Amino acid sequence: MSGVPPRFVVCSLNLWRTRHWPARSHPLDAFLRSHRPDVLVVQELSPEVRSVIDVSLDGHDRVTDAFPGWSCESNIYWHRGLFEPVAYGREDIGQPQAERGLYWVRLRRCEEPAPTLVVATAHYTWPGHPGELRSGISPRTAEARATVTALARIAPAPDAVVFAGDLNDFFHPLRVLREAGLDDSFSALGRMPRPTIPSVPAANGIPSVADWMLHRGPIRPMSTEVVDFFVDGLPPSDHKPLLTTYRMERA
């Protein structure tokens, strides 16, 4: 409808590579088919899991690139009836894992020259990484600073940005991102953050808020949800999907 700000749903999900695969393929397929996010950003991707997503989201496109990280680390899907890609890339944010980084795509609403939206994702280093265990120093604060620097270059103000992923933290990286003007979906809506891991019974551990979705520019969240989803008692991953509905606004 003319004059109504565009609305769309973004989902972030750490896919847990091929742990308990292919048993998890059915819950993952069922989740994607039932929720059908307009934009999906993923971490811990693998070719086997990617093949299922390609079929489940048959109305979507994703980045296809020779860099191996796009098939075995992260990727971004978008509904081809709503968006078309303008540019994409992967930025080094100083992580010890060679194929991790900041993965991003600039999207344009179909048949609309402007405005565009930059969607980005990253998987910050796990606190149990051997380097952190030896040094006692978290690399995630530096990774957040590098994310801010990269986003400032890729999407200078007043570009709309959604950055989502498994940040493996809830304090200093969030502080760095917020100080750079990014607002998380929970805080923006006055919601208490909900744990995103573990998704019992597939995994266990201390419940924590590891996955976040942040934004800046002419875009506002309308709702945000951490989803408990199961098929025959099995979830799509050890992480719970994080979904946020956004509204584009005038710059």
Spatial separation of the C-alpha atoms in residues 218 and 156, rounded to whole Å? 12
DSSP string, 69-132: HHHHTEEEEEETTTEEEEEEEEE----SSTT-SEEEEEEEETT--S-EEEEEEEEPPPTT-HHH
Reading the chain (251 residues) residue by residue, the pLDDT tens digits are: 345 568 999 999 999 999 999 999 999 999 999 999 999 999 999 999 999 999 999 999 999 999 999 999 999 999 999 999 999 999 999 999 999 999 999 999 987 777 899 999 999 999 999 999 999 999 999 999 999 999 999 999 999 999 999 999 999 999 999 999 999 999 999 999 999 999 988 888 999 999 999 999 999 999 999 999 999 999 999 999 999 999 999 76
Architecture of the domain made up of 7-248:
4-Layer Sandwich (3.60)
